[in-house]
Chain A
Amino acid sequence: MFEKGNNFARATIRASVVVALLSAAVQAAPDKATPVSAAAAGSAGFSHVKSLGGIDEYRLDSNGLTVLLVPDHSAPVVTFEVTYQVGSRNEVTGTTGATHILEHMMFKGSDAFNDVRGNSIKQMLERVGGEFNASTSFDRTNYFATIGRESLESYIAIEADRMRHLWLHESDRQSEMTVVRNEYERGKNDPENVLLEEVMEAAYVALPYHHPTIGWKSDIEHVPIAKLREFYDTFYWPNNATVTVVGDIETDQVLGLVKKYYGVYPHSPAPIPAIYTEEPAQSGERRVVVKRPGELGAIIVAHKVPNGRDADQAALEMLDAILSSGKNARLYRSLVDQGLALSAGAGTEVLRDLSLHTLYAAMTPGTTHEQLERALVAELNKIKTSGVTPAEVATVKQQYIAEDAYKRDGTAAVASELSEWIGVGDWTLYVTFPQRVQQVTPADVQRVAKQYFGADQSTTGWFVPVAPKTEKGS
């Protein structure tokens, strides 16, 4: 029950890299997408939509629920995850953070499963030793558990019940508001997390990525329960959700269970609202400075780049790996090894609308912000002017091939990455994005660097530490 879209810069960069790395390099020839066929495998009442990379997509005909099945019989466990297409991008002033508060409220009980009955989701999952959580990001909200296969039906029953029968009581909102506020406060303990938030606030003017996923403190404190109910009744419907099941499963059995518990719901009574806001063109460099108690400074240089489904994301991913993956990476050699930075990285917060690319560096004692920013931007400019080498591109491709094996080790990791691609708007990128990376050329990398990393399109943030008012830790 933490939200992912509110992390400190390095963590976000790392998370972005992980998303991309875990989505990487399929060595084997991919399955061809299967044409839609009502006669394909699956229980009655489902349409088989397509199969790709060992993943089968179905649609529950009665209500539009999407189901992804990923059989893996290496261990007797299953990860079940439901992803709703709602995140902080669906919020407006006054309701910022509502998606995340609602995620917390989803653990307060539903009509059939609650603490009063002794069968709440927490009680059930902890009784069987399940690993479970939920998270909210800019583009999606997900709920997931990894459990022994014997417990799957019990979990599906609870998860389905809270899709439409959630308890939303004002008394629960009041106690949960302070819980969420403490989560917000924990984030504010980290000045570099604050820096990333302020960079995003400056980089996005119109798109809702402008505000942090956890919301503004005043909205967290005051959003009425009626607004949360409105949010729930707008977005928590089967046709706005994808169920993903990974692990020791049999297709017909699982589809039968999904239909049994989710099939009782109709399609949403109204269309799910679309976001029509577009970000206006940026017409010059933007800068923010965060001054907080601390010891060492940090810098983020950000640029808006295309949405996560765009073909150029593969070249951007290649560029980021060349800049920041391992000790041979360019930023390590030029910044860390030269004593200018304690750490440095590059990554993309891959988003459904406009994504955000960031370069990040944490300063060493004695380095100035000006020095570090010059060095950081110089590495980007080198790629714009001189490109990257075929050897660098080939190495990253090899790394992706290995990552393809690593990412299939564990049902939770597979479900988690699929959920991120669902949030971006196309789960098949889990399979096809690594293939796109394998097609990237050095020229592609140079082209995207030139196209997206203009100085007038940048938003630069400095964390400037100020002396603490009290003694520093000893």
Chain B
Amino acid sequence: MVCAGGAKNGEGLVIRFFMLMALLAMSGAAAANMSDQAHRSKVNGIDLITYRSNVKDVVIIIGVLPAGDAMVESGNISIPTLSGMMLDRGTKSLDKFSIAEKLDNVGAEITFTVGEQSLEIRAKCLRKDLPLIIDTMAAELRTPALLVGEFNKAKEQFIGELEASAQDSGALAAQAFGRAVFPEGHPNRPHTLNEYIAAAKSANLEELKAFQAKYYGPAHMTLVVVGDVIDADTQADIAKAFSGWSGGQDYLRAAKAAATTAASEITVPLTDKPSVTVLFGQASGLRYSDPDNLALRVGTAVLGLGFTGRLMSTVRDKEGLTYNIGASMGDDSIVDGVWEVSASFAPTLMGKGVESTRREVNKWWKDGVTEQELASRKQGVIGGYFVSLSTTLGLAETILANAERGFDLGWLDGYPKAVKALTRDQVNAAIKAHINPNAMVLVEAGSVPASAK
């Protein structure tokens, strides 16, 4: 389709046309497959989605349970993370080394991590070992040993990790940014490092047991099982392993954060950090499922996705001010999230870098995106979606995100069509309606020059 000698303008149009046709053909085939191959059912209260892919022998399980940091509200904020850390430290019938040995012997893994709203579950195994992995995962969730000695070790490890991050410019910038754009009580508002450390030091096992009793249960849990699986067998394994389990709480679906009305700047000074982390943005005021979200996401991609986004092509490629800069939206699966530009600058180039970033954001907001930019970006977003579905993990993550955002399985097919249908007017209207360059928060974390403070 393309000649080695390069395409002239006219040929370029032909090339793009053929590539678009190819992608649409690919998307049509994949869309049909997605609908046909995904099966969703309630199994003992768990929202279970299974998907048989073409991979041989491999199975990936990922899932979420509403038991994240934000769930404690007025309680001890370290308890959700400590609860997650206790899950692979033994069950009532097996100690942690016996569990590890069982998994090691078949090359399988089960991990638990804790986010703002969710306890996140990830596992991988060979097909033949799936019942063993489901049984082990269920035992870890349902009957953790919760031994005092292990609890104290988990506390020490958590406190050590928190202390180790006290000089991490990225983590500190994100914390300052989140606290500036989200009000008290919003699930996306992070606590400070010192608050976490103090909470971990005072945490006790009884609080943790009470937390698990209240939040660990099937009622709002989602499990996605993808790979070389047989739907009926998997459903039966899940039903058996989680039989009789009950409880669980819904996510916090707080009111949207109020839009900020005035710009602000926050400096997080750190010694000997020759690259300054910069975050610039606002609360988006949008959940993923809100009507304008997709239009704003694609518009944001024009500004700051990849090497051809406006930010990379100007601030990095033309001006050489940064290694990495991009714009994105996130943290909006369940509640309203953020819109932000993230970048890194040398202290001596930070002033210029921030100025260039503001210039590009203002221009994007004022003039919007062009028809050509939108057409190209829509094509790229659709193509990237299908490329991301080519691995078992990519499939599983897409299916889980779809469920967390409140969509039915049909959206897996509908997403590329919705992207394709977006118009320039919709995108530019969404930018104008939800973004305000004059009321953005700027956070700079690192060895910020005195003149910039």
Query: Known: A119-B6, A157-B3, A409-B58. Contact between A127 and B380, CB under 8 A?
Result: yes
* A144 CB, nearest partner CB in chain B, Å: 13
**Minimal Cβ-Cβ distance residue in A for B88:** A327
23 contacts between A and B (CB under 8 A): A77-B390, A127-B19, A127-B376, A127-B379, A127-B383, A157-B4, A161-B4, A185-B275, A189-B169, A326-B100, A328-B97, A339-B153, A342-B161, A398-B105, A398-B106, A405-B57, A408-B55, A410-B391, A470-B269, A471-B269, A472-B167, A473-B193, A473-B268
Question: Which are the 3 A-B pairs with shortest beta-carbon distances?
Answer: A402-B107, A129-B383, A112-B6
Contact B193 A474 (CB under 8 A): yes
Bound: A296/B168 CA distance, A: 12
Bound: A443/B55 CA distance, A: 37
What does the 1/0 interface line of A316-342 toward B look like (CB < 8 Å)?
000000000111100001001101001
Contact B124 A406 (CB under 8 A): yes
Task: Provide the residues of chain B in CB contact with A126, threshold 8 Å.
Answer: 305-308, 376, 380
Contact A150 B19 (CB under 8 A): yes
The listed residue (A154, A395, A402) touching B19 by CB distance below 8 A is A154
Question: Does B10 touch A at the CB level, under 8 Å?
Answer: no
Contact B271 A470 (CB under 8 A): yes
Contact B386 A362 (CB under 8 A): no
Which of A39-47, A175-183, A453-461 lines the interface with chain B?
A175-183
The listed residue (B23, B271, B321) touching A178 by CB distance below 8 A is B321
Bound: A474/B445 CA distance, A: 12
* A8 CB, nearest partner CB in chain B, Å: 12
Bound: A401/B104 CA distance, A: 11
Bound: A413/B390 CA distance, A: 12
Bound: A401/B446 CA distance, A: 45
What does the 1/0 interface line of B346-389 toward A look like (CB < 8 Å)?
10010000000000000000000000000010011111111111
Chain B positions near chain A (C-beta within 8 angstroms):
1-7, 9, 12, 15-16, 19, 22-23, 26, 29-30, 53-58, 88, 96-97, 99-101, 103-108, 124-126, 153, 156-157, 159-161, 163-169, 171-172, 175, 192-194, 268-275, 305-308, 316-324, 344-346, 349, 376, 379-394, 445-446
Question: Does A292 touch B at the CB level, under 8 Å?
Answer: yes
**Minimal Cβ-Cβ distance residue in A for B18:** A150
**Minimal Cβ-Cβ distance residue in A for B446:** A189
The listed residue (A107, A177, A264, A473) touching B4 by CB distance below 8 A is A264
Bound: A255/B19 CA distance, A: 21
* B314 CB, nearest partner CB in chain A, Å: 11
Contact A293 B390 (CB under 8 A): no
The listed residue (A179, A261, A471) touching B322 by CB distance below 8 A is A179
Question: Does A294 touch B at the CB level, under 8 Å?
Answer: yes
Question: Does A174 touch B at the CB level, under 8 Å?
Answer: yes
Task: Provide the residues of chain B in CB contact with A342, threshold 8 Å.
Answer: 157, 160-161, 164
**Minimal Cβ-Cβ distance residue in A for B395:** A75
Bound: A130/B305 CA distance, A: 12
**Minimal Cβ-Cβ distance residue in A for B353:** A182
Contact A181 B446 (CB under 8 A): no
Question: Does A354 touch B at the CB level, under 8 Å?
Answer: no
- List 6 additional A-B contacts (Cβ < 8 Å) besides A178-B349, A295-B163: A157-B4, A293-B167, A294-B164, A294-B167, A326-B103, A395-B105
Query: Known: A130-B383, A160-B4, A326-B104. Contact between A409 and B392, CB under 8 A?
Result: yes
Contact B56 A408 (CB under 8 A): yes
Query: Known: A128-B23, A154-B2, A175-B317. Contact between A296 and B163, CB under 8 A?
Result: yes
Bound: A160/B107 CA distance, A: 40
Question: Does A237 touch B at the CB level, under 8 Å?
Answer: no
Bound: A473/B12 CA distance, A: 52
**Minimal Cβ-Cβ distance residue in A for B3:** A157
The listed residue (A293, A328, A409, A473) touching B104 by CB distance below 8 A is A328
Bound: A188/B447 CA distance, A: 12
Bound: A128/B308 CA distance, A: 12
* A447 CB, nearest partner CB in chain B, Å: 24
What does the 1/0 interface line of A51-64 toward B look like (CB < 8 Å)?
00000000000000
